[in-house]
Chains A and B, each alone.
Chain A
């Protein structure tokens, strides 16, 4: 790891100020992605600005939606009775207990790993990402491999998930990394059926074919006979594109069955 200047931010505005004062700074939340990246010398920031003391943790449920502060850990989400069960299950399925004790929702959203779990939940529930500058719909947030709609210097404050009538997430974890080989989140949301897929392509995305089949008939059987084209599907030592495309349907069926 190259050395850097470590700073602690006392608020989101303080973090933004420290970030703009730094020659090439980056914020850090739980560090469960950033520290491994720094160790591999894939990044060489001048300053690492910790958000841990910026007061961005906490969960509030107003009856219609739940708002989760950016630095709320996966363990806190998994253990909160204010969080709907489908979302708690997403958090409980991330990594291992020690990663869940440090990793945060804001870090996961900002990082947009192609196999991350929270992006699928955010797309599947039609979440809104609130930053120090604006509100961004999840549908507009995940723009590509490790890429998001966040501008330079833009910091996530919280993520708001509206309630859904029914929702569930089904994940096929890589036995080695625990990341999703494929994960599918399904929901009967206020604006209709939403299906979000992670692990299969360069980043989490909605599945329009699955959404129209499930809008017509909310049952696992409705997905029989759908074939996912393999052109943009990831292929690596863990699974071919055909295997992952098949898993999308299998996980979608499991999620619908779990949602009831």
Chain B
């Protein structure tokens, strides 16, 4: 076992992990933060996406020890003072989710995509969300939600 320390949603955390402990396991099992989901565990579905130092990454394809010293943001860290993040609000407004399983990862990927493409067109949104699979919505309302959020986020 080894000790890992990082900042999760602004809070310093540390814990005992094995070499093979995945970041998503550390978040869910050590920190009991179950907002980050595991859909496939094979690096395809994006349900596990979190931000590491501002960039979206698949936390099922990263070791907890690789996040040593990193700033990690999860879905739980987005709402501020009881107010949803504009991307979360846009998913609600546009019915961008049905079962909600993919939603944490979708929202985390979408925030990164808007940060890097402040005025994304539909093609850019669809291409940048290639790493996130949704079994329910057919994606149309997700694309609409990202378009709305890009406006409200000041793009």
Could you tell me which A residues sit within 8 Å of B by CB distance? 1-6, 8, 31-32, 35-36, 38-39, 48, 50, 52, 75, 95-99, 101-102, 177-178
User: In the complex, A3 Cα to B112 Cα: how many Å?
Assistant: 32
A101 and B55 CA atoms in complex are apart in Å by: 7
Are B61 and A35 in touch, CB under 8 angstroms? yes
A2-B20, A3-B18 known; A31+B131 contact, CB < 8 A:
no
- In the assembled complex, the Cα of A178 lies from the Cα of B68 at a distance in Å of 30
Interface 0/1 of B47-77, CB less than 8 Å to A: 0010000011110011101101000000000
Q: Mask for B72-113, Cβ within 8 A of A = 1, else 0?
A: 000000000000000000000000000000000000010011
Kindly list chain A residues whose C-beta atoms are within 8 Å of the C-beta of B112: 97
Q: Which residues of A contact B58 (CB under 8 A)?
A: 98-99, 102
Residue of B nearest to A52 (CB): B66
Residue B128 CB within 8 A of the other chain: yes
Whether A1 and B20, one on each chain, are in contact in the complex, defined by CB atoms closer than 8 angstroms, is: yes
Q: Does B16 touch A at the CB level, under 8 Å?
A: no
Number of interface residues of B (CB under 8 A): 29
Within 8 Å by CB of B66, from A3, A4, A31, A36, lies: A31
Closest 9 CB pairs between A and B?
A: A96-B131, A6-B19, A96-B130, A1-B20, A101-B55, A98-B131, A6-B65, A4-B19, A3-B20
Interface hits, B3-30 → A, CB 8 Å:
18-20, 22
Instruction: From A1, A38, A97, give the contact of B109 (CB < 8 A).
Output: A97
Contacts A50-B66, A101-B55, A101-B56; is A31 near B61 (CB within 8 Å)?
yes
